[in-house]
Structure 1
Amino acid sequence: MKRLCLLRHAKSDWGDPSKDDFDRPLNTRGEKAAAFMAGWIARSPYRPDLILCSTAVRALATCAPLRDALGDSVPVIYRDELYHAMPDEMLEEIRNAPDDAKTLLVVAHNPGLVLLAMALAEDPDDETALRVAYGVPTGGFIVFEFDADRWEQVANAKGRTVFFGRPRDLMADVSGEKR
């Protein structure tokens, strides 16, 4: 079995209009969400063996606390190709992932991320898949499981959507607040 996790970068800062899209950092809310999601993912049953991360500043800043929370045992591969990648480009990166990684996490951007998630959903009418189709907010985390032994097989398969979480909902669950 292979498990694919998709993480949309956290909320970015739009305050400096002179910054190129690629160079936008996280805003304060995004930094808080990235730190929370890093700890949550590190403690979850979806802890990755390998991370593929876009090289955009906001993706790098989303990945940094995750890298710290997971430690040196989880390698991170930074890929320019994941910046604003569409599903076919993301699948190419996934296809080339080393097969010794059982759980792969991809940190990337919309709209490609949600389009990939919908393309991979075995049952697009499943409740979790429908929540994904409604939208993946910044910091959103989606998990698929595939009956596959190699990442190459995942690129041509449909997977079970086993989890979808938004930072605000997961934070509320941890704090006991109502949503």
Structure 2
Amino acid sequence: MKRLCLWRHAKSDWGDPAKDDFDRPLNARGAKAAEFMAGYITNSTYRPDTVLCSTAARARETCAPLAARLGNRVPIIYRDELYHAMPDAMLDEIRRAPDTAQTLLLVAHNPGLVLLAMALAEDPDEETALRIAHGVPTGGFIVFEFDVERWSDIADGKGRSVFFGRPRDLMTDEKT
């Protein structure tokens, strides 16, 4: 069995209209959410063996607190191809992931990420299907499981959606 985690970059800063989209950093809320989600992911059963991350500034900054927690035990692979990638390009990267990784985390962007989640979902529960259909918010985290031995065998419509979380909901849950 393989587990695929999809993590949309955290909230980015739109304060400098002259800044190129690729170079936009996280805003303060996004940095806080990335830090929280990094802790959540590393302390969960969804801790990755390998991470694939877009090279855009906001994706790298989202991934940075996770990389710090994971240390050099988990490879973080930065891929230009994941910047504003559509599902087919994301699937190509996933299918090339090392089969030694049982849990793979992909850090990328919408709209490709939500389209990928919709394509992968075999039979999501109604709440998860509605959340995916309405988009993956910044910092959103979705987990799929696949009954395959190799990443190259991942196919559309064959993943079981087992988790969907938003930073603000998870932060609230942790406070209660």
- Fold shared per TM-score above 0.5: yes
Task: Give 1:128-139 correspondences, 5 Å limit.
Answer: 128-139=128-139
Tell me if structure 1 keeps the 8 A contact 2:119–2:156: no
Tell me if structure 2 keeps the 8 A contact 1:143–1:161: yes
Tell me if structure 2 keeps the 8 A contact 1:146–1:157: no
Quote the offset at 1:127 in angstroms.
2.8
Could you tell me the TM-score, scaled by structure 1's length? 0.95
Q: Distance in 1 between matches of 2:79 and 2:130?
A: 29
Off by >3 Å, runs of 4+ in structure 1: none
How many pairs are equivalent?
A: 176
Quote the offset at 1:168 in angstroms.
0.1
> In percent, how many aligned pairs have the same letter?
77
Tell me if structure 2 keeps the 8 A contact 1:96–1:152: yes
CA deviation vs aligned residue, 1:78-114 (integer Å, no higher than 9, x gap): 0000000000000000010010000000000000000
Q: Distance in 2 between matches of 1:9 and 1:56?
A: 10
Quote the offset at 1:155 in angstroms.
3.8
Residue number in structure 1 paired with 2:15? 15
Tell me if structure 1 keeps the 8 A contact 2:51–2:107: yes
Residue number in structure 2 paired with 1:109? 109
Q: Distance in 1 between matches of 2:131 and 2:108?
A: 19
Q: Distance in 1 between matches of 2:84 and 2:96?
A: 18
Tell me if structure 2 keeps the 8 A contact 1:94–1:155: no
Structural RMSD (CA): 1.0
Quote the offset at 1:116 in angstroms.
0.1
CA deviation vs aligned residue, 1:45-84 (integer Å, no higher than 9, x gap): 1000000000000000000001011221111000000000
Code of the residue aligned with 1:60 in structure 2: it is R
Bigger Cα displacement from structure 2, 132-141 vs 80-89: 132-141
Task: Give 1:51-90 correspondences, 5 Å limit.
Answer: 51-90=51-90
Code of the residue aligned with 1:45 in structure 2: it is T
Could you tell me the TM-score, scaled by structure 2's length? 0.97
Quote the offset at 1:170 in angstroms.
0.2
Code of the residue aligned with 1:83 in structure 2: it is Y
